[in-house]
Each structure stands twice: as C-alpha cells, then as structure tokens.
Chain A
C-alpha cells in the first residue's frame, strides 16, 4: 500500500514537472511570437499570453508549433533543468568553425547561462535545419536563394536576415612561390582551367594545382560569383572539405593555389596574394574585389528570447565585435 502511494507521488511529481515546464514552454513560445519585430525598440519583451496581443498574426501556426515544440521543450527542460536555454545554431563552416563558437564563449563569460549547440556543415544546411525546426539560428556565408525563400513561404514562415560580419576571401599560394599578386582575370583563368602553368602569370614554371571548397560550401559559390565571372570551376580543380584542408595542401605544394577565409590566411606555409594590387588587409575591405557579407538567418516570430538576445548581442556589442575581429572577420557595425 505504502509502496503504491509512493509510486503515485512520484508520478504526480513527474506530471507536475511536465505541466510546469510545458506551461513555461507555452508562455515562452507565445510570448516571443510577433514580439521580435519590436525587439529593437524595447529590450524588455514581456512574456504575455496570446490573447493580450491583438496584433499577433499567426495563431494557427502558433498552435502547430506549440504542439511540436511543447513536447520537445518539456522533455528538454526535464533533462536539463528549467533554467538553461539551449540555442541551436547550424550552417556555414566559415562562421561555425571559429567565430560563432568564440562568440558563444564570450557571451557566456559576459554573464549569460545559455548553452549552445553549434554545427557547421555548409551554408545550405542552415536553411534545411531552419525549415525542419532543428535550429534556432542559421549561419550562412551566402545570401538565401529564391528557391529556399519559397520553401519557407510554403510553410507560412518568413525569414529574417542579420548581417553577422564581413569576410574577405584570401587567394593563397605557397610561401615559397614567387607570385605576389594576381589580377581577377588571371584568377578567373586559373580557377576555370584556362591558365595551367605558373609561368603564364609571372611565376616560376610549374603546373598549377588548384584547390577549392566542395559544392556544399557557401564560399565555393561566393568565390565563383566574385572572382570567376560565374563561370564553372575547371575539371582539374580538387575539391577539399574545408578551409583548413586547403591551407594544408597549399602549404605542402609549391605549385598550389587555393582560397580561404581571412582568418585562415596566417597559417604556416602559405601567403595571401594581392588581388588587383590590393592587399588582403581588413582596412582594404571596401576595395578588395573578393569580399562578402556573412549572415545569420532566423524565422520571423519563431525565435526564442534567448536566441534573440544572443543575436542582438552578437551583432552590436563591443565585446562581440572584438571577438569577430580576433577571428579575422570585419565587424558588421
């Protein structure tokens, strides 16, 4: 008898916990919906119930998300305790390898207790994950494509673009190479396969080995658009898994050439060359021909308070800007 009672108590305790956390989750979700638009104006977003919010736009969807997220959030809060918010960030390798993890660290150091899950698998994965609801924030080193925007429209979602930072893509060669600079035309020729020997561009004779990112990378596409006149990569190019691997191969191959983000150009054995006589330096960001902006993407209204707060911090705070600069990007502000 006593045993049964104890079990009952445990059960009810369990149930109470579930209901408390699910209520929390509910408030949470509803409170953030629609409030994001006003985020910039007021830092104190109140968590109110839906009814008190006449300009809420999308209740049916709200319910759908609620049902989905309730279960997940309830389970998560049971496991992790009610206070810790997890911010899930997925997407580009360019952002996710260094910048965002370090931002997350700095954010925690600044006195916030959110936990982060960061996965860097290429820009495209930012959108697939946002669409599937498996990420709060998507990182992308390219602009969203029209076809991707449509997929969000189809699900009744609107996507919001935050500028994370600016990046310059450095063209790198082996440090022993005699080439100090190339023009964009020469770069186009090399990466499309029209130019195959270093002697054609003023270096010592030797067949050029071209290393590029693979097709899932945002940098692959950005470079194609900015430096190659949108032409296709030559068949002789070798597709590497990431910045790190390109730098590694170029460092080991005296005839190698490749491209990496600004942050990777100080690796051993490689040097960044000037493009159109403009050196790769942060202060030249405006004139340097192969520069681009990096983005965070979120779904309008479907962003947790914690994630919104983090984004606002990461795009404006002094400390965050310092981190961005330290990892080799140019702050957006």
Chain B
C-alpha cells in the first residue's frame, strides 16, 4: 500500500517537475503566457458583450412599445375618442380660419391709431428701460418710504399712549387737589405715570427726529432719482425700443420724455396727462375705424358664431368619450389594482385592515365593459354630425365670400393674414368633407392592425404626453427637428473643417501646424452644457439682435422673433462637429502616400494643383467618412439642443422655405433627456422614449456603417 502510494506521488512529483522545467508554470495545461493572452482577449470581448447587452436591453424594453402602443390606440378607438377627435379637427381647422380673419380685422382697425399706438409703445418701453436703469436708487427710496410709513404708525401709537398718560396724570393730580387723602400712594402713582410720560415723550422725540432725518433722506434720494432719470432718459439705452418696434414720431419725443419723467417715481400713481390723452385718442380712432368696418366685423363675428353648434356637439360627445375611456382604463387596470390590494392584505397583520383590503379586492370589477353599450350614446348622435358639418361649411363659405376683397385692405399685415386665411379656408373645406365621411364610416370595433399602429408612431405628427385626453406618440416632429438641426450643422461645419484640414496638412508651415491643430482639437474639450449656456445667453441674443438689422432683412427667416431656434442650435453643433471632422479628414489627408505628391510636383504641377487634383481626390473617401462620423456625433448630441433648440414639438413649417431655420424645434435626444426622468418605469411613455432611443441608435449605426463602407469601397490606394 504505502509502497505504491509512494511510487505514485513520486511519479507525480517528477512529472510536475518535468513539466515545470519544460514549459514553466501551468494550470490545466495552460501557461502564464496563455493567461496573459486570455486576460487581454477577455477584456476586449467583455466590451463587445456589454455592447450586445446594451442592444438587447434597448430592444427588449423598446420592442414592447409596439404592442402597448397598439393597445393604447385600440382603446382610443373603443372609447370613441377617435370620432370625437374627427369633429375636433374640423373645429380646429375652422378656428385657424377665424383667427386669421380676426387678425386681419384688428390690423385694419388698429391701422388708424398706428401713430398713437407707436407713441404708447415707445412710452412703455422707455419707462421700463428707465426704471431698470435707476432700479438701485428706486429700491432704496421705496425702502425709506416704507420705513417712514412704519414710523408714522408708531408715532400714532405713541401719541395715543401719551394722551392716555396725560389724562391719567391729570386725574390723580386733580383728585389730590380736591382731597388730601392717601397722599403717598397717589404721589407714587403720579410719579410713576410722570416717569412713563417722560419716557413716551422721549420716544416721540426720537421718532420725530428719525422721521425728519428720513424726510431729508427721501428728499435727497428723490432729487437723486430725478437726476438719474434725467440722465437715463438722455441715453440711447433708454430708447432701445426692443425687437421690431417702430420709432415714435419726432414731435412726440419730448412729450414722451416728459411723461416718463413724471411717471418714473415711486410716488406717481396717476398717468401723465399726455399719455391719458393719447390713449383716449387711440381709443376714439379705433372706435371710428370699427364703425367704418362694421360689415367686416360682423362677418368675422359670424364666422366665430357659426362654429358654436358643432362646438357644443363636440363637447357633449367628449364627455361621453371621457366616461368611456375611464371605464376602459378601469377595466385594464383592474387586475393590477386587485393584485395590489391582495398583496397589501398579505402584508398587513391587523385583521381589520386585512379584511377591509380583502373586501376591497373582491369588490374590484374585472368584467370587460360592453363596448357596444358604452358607445351607443355616441352612435345615437353620429347622424347629427352630417347636418352640423354641412351647415358649418355652407355658413363659413358664405361668410368667407362676404369678407372684404384683399384689394380693399389697407395694411400689409391684414393682406398677409388674408393670404393665410385663404389657405386655412381651403384646408377647412377639405377637412370637413374628409371628416364627414370618416365620421359616417367610423366603427368603434373596427380592427386596428399592428401595422397601422406602427405607422401611427413612425409617421405620427403629434407627440403629446401627460395629456388629460389621450397621449399621442408620433416620431415625425422629433425626427424632423433632429435631422434639420444636424443638416444645418453639417452644412456649416463641413467647409470649415475640411478647408482647415487641407490647410493644416498641406499648406501651413510646421510651426503653424503645431499651433492650429491642437487649438481646433481643443474645442472638443469644451463641455456641451457650457456651450448650451453660451448659446442661450450670448449667442442666441446676439443672433436675434443681428437679425433685426434692416439691411439684413432679405436673409430668409430674419428678423427672428425667438432666440432659441434651429439655427442657433445648428450653429453651435457645427462648432462641436468641426474638431471631429477636422481630425479625421486630416488623418485621411495624411494617409496619402508622399510619392503621389512628389510625382505630381515632378510633373510640373503647382502646389495648389497638386492639392486639389491629386491629394484631395485621393483622400476623398476618408473625408466623406469623416463627414459622416461628424454627422453621427451631432445627431446624438443632447445638452446643446435641449437648452438651445427651443423645444417646440411640431414639425417645422417648411412652407417658409429657408426661413424655417428661425423656428424652434424639439429633437429626439432632447425629448429623452427631458421626459425620461418623470415617467413610470414600464409605462407606455417610458417605452416610447426607449424606441426613440433605438431610432437614434439605428441612425448612428447606419451612419457608421456607411462611413466604413465608403472608406473601403472608394479607397483609391
């Protein structure tokens, strides 16, 4: 036994020793070098595994969006909300038409009092400016005045006390004179009150002294304020009337100044006579103009009144649909509520609570509502719609024809409004025709295919969340915003970045190269949130001010009303994309073999010819890849667009041509950042944001893939 054992262990030992000698340290037949190899390999594959996990996670959370969304849309239909919204669309279309006509009417009315209104507007602006400029003194003056008021109150109290004390002092004195009884006590008392009286008198004196001081201070400050106002009103800053405001007529400026001087004091509560007079004049002129335009006004009012019957019809239906929706929601959450109560009962030990929870759990109604029955009141009223809609259409058509001709209008803005009204009228007519059919054919139990609900997401024009009516998830407003901003950024960034790359790589002397390259690459180190703040506070404001300059008004979109716009975001993103594109493009140029340059130069080409005919074409695939990667960089950028793009969830209005860039927009990245923090995990809204994230992911993936393909396919060397 022991012998064999010995032999065995001996044999093993020698074997191990042998293998040590041969291959070094080994476990399971693997040496140290293998472990090092596996360690590095493992780390590399870990990165890939994490990437795959992220994809799986995104897909798993996101993909459930489609069935949930489908369910949501289905209940939207089952509750009859879809039908109500058909009617709502007609009303909305009508409201736009009415609004345009109304704006035109007011433009015509206000035209007559334009001069007065300009004066009033200028007066308000100047007054606000002057008040802002003299705010400090103003605030101090107000503080003093408040203190003075407090002191006045105090003085009143003290005087009252004094009166009482004097009376009290007089009374015992009189009594003492009458009868000389209880002298000691009386003397004590009177001495006491005398002391008090003296104290009060002292206090009164102190308060009065302080008041006098204050009066002097207030007078001084008032003088100072007046002086400051005088200085302020003479400055240009005070006469900055703001975006797009007209200058008041020259002869009114002195009066405006006077009115501002009068009003720019905390004590002023009535308006200056001049302002009152101008207001009165403006009112009179408007009234007169309105009288002349009674026909116009009646027509506009008629348009507004025409929609009333269908509006009340709409709100009746809406009430039914809301009720239906509640029923359906109650049904869909019933199992959960029941489960919650049962779980709660299980967690409670108090028998009473437990019983109560169990009772409530059993009381939860889990029967499906009868959709036919809950929709019956809606169907009952469907036939009414055709007549209401036809009436509205006929009435509007008639009234629209009764509106004044465009040539009769005297103001430009009214004519523009009429131009819009014409478009809206056509839209309204079409909408009514379309929706009358839709309402007739509408069935609450019409099948909704999953394909339809998917299209409703991808091509949906509304993204409305946290709504009391129905949440809509439409990608188009966000996608269009993201793409438009990225395209602007690219259009601006590419020439700069590529030209800089060519210059640095080919033309710049060595020293300059060493300075320019790191400088551009440094841009990448600026945190995007810092750029965002810069965009709001400095760049946006500057951009808007520049857009007000008159000789620039030919630029599409100028003058801009907003400072948070697509253009602002696009330009900032361009700035961010430049280092990415620059670095990659420069690399591509660097990779062009020196032999090509030398050959070209040897053939007698100039430096410029060599650069543009030989080097750039050779590196073109690399440059295109750089641009694509730059695009990928900016489409995924979040902070800047969230802060600067203006966050308006609407498809940009492309009818304005290039002017579209002056509008605000929302982006896919922005919406995720803005809304993800608030939504419940696992809710439809949550999943919708995940799907938006997936769309972004896919765009980036596609862009990167294309960049690689371009690099490979068009590489000339």
Contacts and interface: CB of A to CB of B under 8 A. Distances in A.
B462 interface: yes
B650 A236 contact: yes
Contacts of A220: 466
Contacts of B344: 153-156
A153 B340 contact: yes
A235 to B, nearest CB: 4
Contacts of B648: 235-239
A238 B646 contact: yes
A152 to B, nearest CB: 9
A240 interface: yes
Interface in A196-213: 196-197, 199-200, 204-207, 209
A150 B103 contact: no
Interface in A140-181: 147, 150-151, 153-156, 175-178
A216 B677 contact: yes
Contact of B674 (A214, A221, A235, A268): A214
A60 B347 CA distance: 7
A252 interface: yes
A156 B348 contact: yes
A230 interface: yes
Given A194-B99, A235-B650, A121 B245 contact: no
Interface residues of B, number: 61
A186 interface: no
Given A60-B347, A224-B468, A254 B336 contact: no
B182 interface: no
A61 interface: yes
A253 interface: yes
B627 interface: no
Contacts of B95: 194
Given A154-B343, A197-B103, A232 B467 contact: yes
A127 B386 CA distance: 47
Interface residues of A, number: 58
A232 B413 CA distance: 29
A252 B106 contact: no
B696 to A, nearest CB: 19
B349 A58 contact: yes
A175 B128 contact: yes
Given A147-B333, A239-B649, A254 B349 contact: no
Contacts of B563: 249, 252-253
A214 B95 CA distance: 26
Given A176-B125, A253-B243, A232 B464 contact: yes
A77 interface: no
B102 A200 contact: yes
Given A195-B99, A232-B464, A249-B564, A205 B333 contact: no
Interface in B631-684: 642-643, 646-650, 664, 666, 674-675, 677-680
Contacts of B350: 57-58
Contact of A125 (B243, B347, B462, B677): B677
Contacts of B643: 241
A57 B349 contact: yes
Contacts of A215: 465-466, 674-675, 678
Chain A at the B interface: SS class: loop
B120 A178 contact: yes
A52 to B, nearest CB: 17
B413 to A, nearest CB: 6
Contacts of B678: 122, 124-125, 215-216
Contacts of A147: 333, 680
Contacts of A231: 468-469
Contacts of A59: 349
Most buried by B among A61, A155, A232, A269: A232
B647 A238 contact: yes
B649 A199 contact: no
- Central interface residue in A125, A154, A200, A268, by most chain B CB within 10 Å: A154
B117 A196 contact: no
A225 interface: yes
B468 A230 contact: yes
Nearest to A224: B468
Given A150-B337, A197-B99, A199-B107, A232 B117 contact: no
B542 interface: no
A176 B242 contact: yes
B711 interface: no
Interface string B117-138: 1001100110010001000000
Contacts of B106: 197, 199-200, 205
B99 A216 contact: no
A207 B100 CA distance: 11
B339 interface: yes
Nearest to B352: A57
B110 interface: yes
B413 A205 contact: yes
B120 A253 contact: no
A255 interface: yes
A252 B536 CA distance: 11
A250 to B, nearest CB: 12
Nearest to B467: A232
A93 to B, nearest CB: 11
Nearest to A177: B124
Given A60-B347, A252-B541, A268 B132 contact: yes
Nearest to B469: A232
Given A209-B562, A240-B647, A254 B245 contact: yes
B141 interface: no
A194 B94 CA distance: 10
Which residue, of A147, A153, A220, has the highest number of chain B Cβ atoms within 10 A? A153
Nearest to B666: A239
B400 to A, nearest CB: 18
A249 B339 CA distance: 47
Given A176-B128, A215-B678, A232-B464, A205 B469 contact: no
B347 A199 contact: no
Interface string A12-38: 000000000000000000000000000
Contacts of B650: 235-236
A207 B561 contact: yes
Nearest to B663: A236
A221 B120 CA distance: 36
A58 B242 CA distance: 64
B291 interface: no
Nearest to A239: B647
Contacts of B128: 175-176, 269
B341 interface: yes
B213 interface: no
B543 to A, nearest CB: 12
A21 B462 CA distance: 55
Contacts of B337: 150
B339 A209 contact: no
Contact of A154 (B340, B536, B562): B340
B298 interface: no
B353 interface: yes
A220 B464 CA distance: 13
Given A216-B675, A238-B664, A254 B243 contact: yes
Nearest 9 pairs between A and B by C-beta? Answer: A216-B678, A156-B347, A154-B340, A199-B106, A215-B466, A235-B650, A230-B468, A239-B647, A197-B103
Interface of B: 95, 99, 102-103, 106-107, 110, 117, 120-121, 124-125, 128, 132, 242-245, 333, 336-337, 339-341, 343-344, 347-350, 353, 413, 462, 464-469, 477, 536, 541, 561-564, 642-643, 646-650, 664, 666, 674-675, 677-680
Interface of A: 57-61, 121-122, 124-125, 128, 147, 150-151, 153-156, 175-178, 194-197, 199-200, 204-207, 209, 214-216, 220-221, 224-225, 230-233, 235-241, 248-249, 252-255, 268-269
8 contacts: A122-B677, A156-B347, A176-B121, A178-B124, A196-B99, A205-B103, A214-B647, A254-B244
Given A150-B340, A252-B563, 9 more contacts: A154-B340, A156-B344, A176-B124, A197-B103, A199-B110, A215-B674, A239-B647, A239-B674, A248-B536
